Amino acid sequence: MTGAAGGIGAAAVRSLAERGYRVYATVRADDAVSQALAEIQNVRLVTMDVTDPASVAAAADTVRQQTPALHAVVNNAGVIVQGPLELVPPQELRRQFEVNTFGPAYVTQAFLPLIRAGKGRIVNVSAPTARVPMPFFAPISASKAALEALTTALRLELEAWNVPISVIEPGSTQTRIFDKAGAAAKVARQHADPQRVRLYSDHLARIDKTQAGMRQDPVQPVAEAIVDAVTARTPKRRYVVGGARAIGVLLKLPTGLRERLVMSSLGLRGAVAGR
């Protein structure tokens, strides 16, 4: 389980461990959250940075020394980079894809021999923006869309070995990831060209207001979806949880209408260009 120290990851680790599964919970650092996980019966901590192929390979070796096979790999680690694409720093755009897209690819490559040996499966945590991209969330939308493309292609590549691959699609959840994303976006704007920032002043104010009033779902239903994908005899290709279910409705609408509804949902209809 990658991203085990996050809200969804920690809840899923606990749920799986309570069902008797030995969980290899990967974390980037040995902190208080990690230590709390380490105290749970059936949980083994493994240090790993999903953006570093060498770190991922070392983690795979560590796990291989403890078990010859795995029942599942859950690619849960993720970050959100938001804001006008024009103002997103290159390093932040790179970080978005390194964690959300390259990370799951590195992890899958390194752990696939253990999955194949265990006749196991892969579970990738995505986002609704993979299927309905959102303005001012272009980086997260693109990185998760790329992850879903990788998932579909890999499912077909591994068909001969009968390796199921599931996507978990949660809506907005009660985790720190959104606060971190907002804080990082504000820092990026502080270092951007003020004139360019002013161009988006009305849009940014509206986005901030919408996010402040956004309902967030509890993490446990997402954790339960991960557990189902890990334990089901025949896992689904996609598990849609909470507010993400609205995406299915939007996808059935004509493109123009869908885009107008997206803009309205974010409070952006009628937003004016700054000067």
Mean pLDDT of 175-199: 83
Tell me the residue type at 253: L
Smallest CA-to-CA distance from 189 within 271, 83, 112, 41 is with 83
Distance CA 122, CA 114 (A): 11
pLDDT in tens, 64-99: 999 999 999 999 999 999 999 999 999 999 999 999
225, 247, 139, 199 alpha-carbon torsion, rounded to 10°: -140
pLDDT for position 42: 94
pLDDT at 187 over 90: no
The vertex-124 CA angle with 122 and 125, nearest 5°, equals 150
Is pTM beyond 0.85? Reply is yes
Residue for token digits 């899923």? 12
pLDDT in tens, 193-240: 889 999 999 999 999 898 888 888 899 999 999 999 999 999 999 999
Decide if 122 contacts 72 (C-beta within 8 A).
yes
pLDDT for position 192: 85
pLDDT for position 170: 94
DSSP state of 119: T
- 67-76, 119-128, 159-168, 244-253: which range is least confident on average? 244-253
Radius of gyration in angstroms for the set of CA atoms belonging to the chain, rounded to a whole number: 19
pLDDT for position 259: 95
Q: 238-241 and 121-125 as β-strands: parallel, antiparallel, unpaired?
A: unpaired
Under DSSP, is residue 94 helix (H, G, I), strand (E, B) or coil? helix
Tokens standing for residue 110? 């390194």
Q: Which CATH architecture has domain 7-177+216-245?
A: 3-Layer(aba) Sandwich (3.40)
Where along the chain do its domains lie?
A: 7-177+216-245
Helix segments in 98-137, DSSP class H: 103-117
